[in-house]
Amino acid sequence: MEIKGRLVQILSVQTGQGRNGEWKKQDFVIEMEGTYPRKACFTVWGDKVNIGSLVEGTMLNVYFDVESREYQGKWFTNLTAWKIESSEDSLQNAPPPLPPIEVYQPDMDAPPMPDNPPF
């Protein structure tokens, strides 16, 4: 899935030890534009944690997966980001705009066509 929004907050990196070794994750919050702006918290894992170069207020395109799981009778949903792009970067990679379309303007000074054309 993909969503666009303004980066509101970058939370601190969390680390821990699991059965497969050490892990680290970082959460960040974006706000989606609209009549009723909404916020969503996304998580990045492992080598993608290096989001410290992003600046709050930047427009982002976030590519993510949604996953829900049940724990002790309650359901929890995670939004796991797997790719983050600055919207400004995507605008730089966009194709150049098309040139303006020329609109036909009839020549009002031209002589009128004959009433009986030769064809």
Judge whether residue 71 has pLDDT over 80. Answer: yes
Residue 90's pLDDT is: 46
Q: Angle CA(88)–CA(36)–CA(58) in degrees, nearest 5?
A: 20
CA-nearest of 38, 82, 34, 30 to 54 is 30
Question: Does the predicted TM-score (pTM) go above 0.85?
Answer: no
Say which range, 12-26, 43-57, 61-75, has the weakest mean pLDDT.
43-57
Domains of the chain with CATH codes: 2-88 (2.40.50.140)
Confidence of residue 76 (pLDDT cuts 50, 70, 90): very high
**Identity of the amino acid at 28:** F
